[in-house]
Amino acid sequence: MTSPASTRPDRYGSRRRLSRRAGFGLGALALALAVAWAAWVAWSDSGDRLDWTDVSFTVVDPGTTLVVFEVNRSPGRTVVCSVRALNAGYAEVGQVDVTLPPSSARSSRAEATVPTSERAVTGTVKDCVVQR
């Protein structure tokens, strides 16, 4: 009687393995695809990059908050930023849209005077969008 292990190749056939050269080739191809994908992501993301940073805020009086912020964008683009003031419960008590005209500089600083319905405790940029 033969053992079950010795009959498996006869029954199911032997498994073919990749040659060492083919394994290296597939590995190199996978690496090249990963590098190409990373380069594409980095290149496609850098075109219309838009981000902003809150610089400061000043509660001028119970009805006014001044917000200073910086916007980084592609030169020559018009950007509209929504700036808001929040009360102690983080409820929005004032909001204004600020349009930043096209500029040759990548970074620009702006101020927004936000009229409020009650005393604010902070002011911040909610979001910015490129106007097309």
**CA–CA gap between residue 71 and residue 99 (Å, rounded):** 11
Domain boundaries, the chain: 4-45, 51-131
* Cα distances (Å, whole numbers) of residue 3 to 9, 10, 64, 111: 12, 12, 89, 84
| pTM exceeds cut of 0.85 | no
* Cα distances (Å, whole numbers) of residue 127 to 37, 64, 82, 119: 29, 20, 5, 22
Residue with tokens 């119970």: 62
The per-residue pLDDT for 42 is 72
Mean pLDDT, 10 residues at a time, the chain of 132 residues:
59 75 89 88 69 96 97 91 96 97 92 97 96 82
Superfamily of domain 51-131: Immunoglobulins (2.60.40.10)
